[in-house]
Amino acid sequence: MNYLWWDLETTDLSYVFGGVLQAAFKLTSDTYQVLDEFEGNCRIKPGIVPSVYALLANSVNPLEAQKRNKSSLLKKYTKR
């Protein structure tokens, strides 16, 4: 059996108001050997004001996140 591990960094602690800033996914075997992984980031949507608490939790610089040229999570994909 394989396992999928994932982590999202968002602009708000509430899923209703937050947007994804960073995401990481790892697919592992039942012995926890990494089979595949994906890491990506995207810019903050226009008009979204990030929550201070979310920024403290995820350590994402909001000024840098606004300048990112990616509007999707297509940064790095590795196939093992």
CA neighbor of 20 nearest in space, from 53, 52, 60: 60
Instruction: Give dist(CA 46, CA 35) in Å, integer.
Output: 36
Q: How far does Cα 48 stand from its chain's mean position? A: 16
Query: What would the pLDDT profile of 32-53 be if each residue is shown by its tens digit?
Result: 999 999 988 888 877 778 888 8
CATH of the domain at 32: 3.30.420.10
Report pLDDT for 8.
85
Q: What's the rounded mean pLDDT across residues 53-73?
A: 73
Which pLDDT belongs to residue 15? 67
Number of structural domains in the chain: 1
Range of the domain at 30: 3-79
22 has pLDDT over 80: yes
DSSP class of residue 56? H
